[in-house]
Amino acid sequence: MSETYSTSRTWSNTVIIKGLKPATMYHYKIVSTNSSIDHFTSPRAAGDTTPFAMDVVIDLGVYGTDGFTTDKRDTIPKIEPALNHSTIGRLADTIDDYEFIIHPGDFAYADNWYERHQNGLHGEAAYQSILEQFYQQLAPIAGRKPYMASPGNHEATCDITRHVSGDCPLGQTNFTDFMHRFGATMLAAFPSSSSNTTARARAETAQKLAQPPFWYSFEYGMAHVVMIDTETDFHDAPDGPGGSTGDNDGPFGSPNQQLDFIEADLASVDRTVTPWLIVAGHRPWYTTSGGEACLPCQKAFEPLLYKYGVDLAIFGHVHNSQRMVPVYKGIADPNGMRNPKAPMYIIAGGAGNIEGLRPIGKNVSYNAFAYADDFSFAKVSFKDKHNLQVDFIRSRTGKVLDTSVLYKEYAEKATLSDDQSTSLSGRSMAWLEIVVMVVLVIL
């Protein structure tokens, strides 16, 4: 499938290759004059207990002088050492240390095009050029590793501060580039093969309600990951109709569709197959930067995360790195990092962009770590069914800034009361069929 939109200067090409074996290396070549043979490793099947890591980058923008011009590149670039974006460089240098990346919102920062004087009156071309440069810079990474996305506020429109919002062309409003770039490559929920009728029914409901790339889920080894939309499609959503930003974007589903999806999806998870349950979105509600807390997000999502025993909640939006102890309704879980009932929360918004880093702000009782001295990102390591490790890494040096381990004795228990031991293998196999879509669309 090949698609574009009104202001785009490129096409997104999606190719589906079926029948891939799990955890297997495949070589591929895009037929063009400037493509070499590359390779990727297909995802692990759900239930595979082999330890693995995923990297988390959020609020990641274009680097160097590239992107802030109206020029269009015709070649797939390499990571150039002279161009100073240490997070992209670190991801490239350590590509064998993680198996996939999640990026819950804020790509490229094309809506900040006006901050470079050379863009002048060429806003439409500058916006598109920044997007082109950013995804070309990611190509050496996303060409080998699945790159899983959900929306942030910088995907909404061509002008984040509305300096020229009246002039935004149709192709640069309402998350248009994000939808076209990722709409065919992010995953919907897949049918359950569980013998448990309740699990099958809930998974079937989630499949119907998923709306990728805005909200969806996938499974990889020991992890079930749910990607959510903190921008639209819930009451008082910041970028939604009547929301605080004034963008009036969306909705992208029917009333309550996203929340109904999240509940059905979380309720269908079989902890005997995927013991670790992760939720990732853009705007946080727990942060040391109090003015950045998304209270409508908390009201909409926090009860569901607590009800279904989510282990780790990942957010960005605040441009620094933070780790919270497990917390619910602003109160730290008395069990701390050992068998908490509440989710552990992290912010991984310090990857780097034109807007710079956000000061730490004031300390809050449930904050365990905060860093804003330099660019950084997070690594989540699934050690086994009981131990989940989160590291924050300084992008420039690779130094580990903070390490924590979440321990769950009951992580192997199923959400439902009776046996679901085969519940989500159907989701795993469908995931194996479409991994190449993520690889090809970004190149």
d(CA 57, CA 105): 9
199-228 residue pLDDT tens: 778 888 999 999 999 999 999 999 999 999
Domain ranges of the chain: 2-442
Contacts of 262 (CB under 8 A, 6+ apart): 215, 226, 228, 279, 301, 304
Could you read off the pLDDT tens digit of each residue along the chain, which spans 443 residues?
888 888 888 888 888 888 999 999 999 988 877 778 999 999 999 999 999 999 999 999 886 554 343 333 333 334 344 444 689 989 999 999 999 999 999 999 888 876 665 555 666 788 888 898 899 889 999 999 999 999 999 999 887 666 554 568 888 889 999 999 998 888 776 666 556 678 778 888 999 999 999 999 999 999 999 999 999 999 999 999 999 998 899 999 999 999 999 999 999 998 988 999 999 999 999 999 888 999 999 999 999 999 999 999 999 999 999 999 999 999 999 999 999 999 999 999 999 888 888 999 888 999 999 999 989 999 999 999 999 999 999 998 999 999 999 999 865 555 554 443 333 334 444 444 444 444 444 33
Query: What's the first-to-final CA gap in the chain, in angstroms?
Result: 15
CATH superfamily for 2-442 is Metallo-dependent phosphatases (3.60.21.10)
Closest listed residue to residue 104, CA positions, set 307, 297, 338, 387: 297
Residue 249: C-alpha distances to residues 23, 365, 392, 407 (Å)? 39, 35, 33, 40
Is beta strand 147-150 parallel, antiparallel or unpaired with respect to 107-108? Answer: unpaired
Contacts of 302 (CB under 8 A, 6+ apart): 285, 328, 329
The DSSP secondary structure of 283-350, one letter per residue, reads S-SS-SSGGG--HHHHHHHHHHHHHTT--EEEE-SSSSEEEE-SEETTEE-TTTTBS-SSPEEEEE--
Q: What's residue 412's pLDDT?
A: 52
Dihedral pair phi/psi, residue 5, rounded to 5°: -145, 175
Q: Is 250 left (phi over 0), alpha (psi -120 to 50) or beta?
A: left
pTM check: above 0.85: yes
Q: Which two tokens stand for residue 305?
A: 């995360």
Q: Which two tokens stand for residue 163?
A: 């300096």
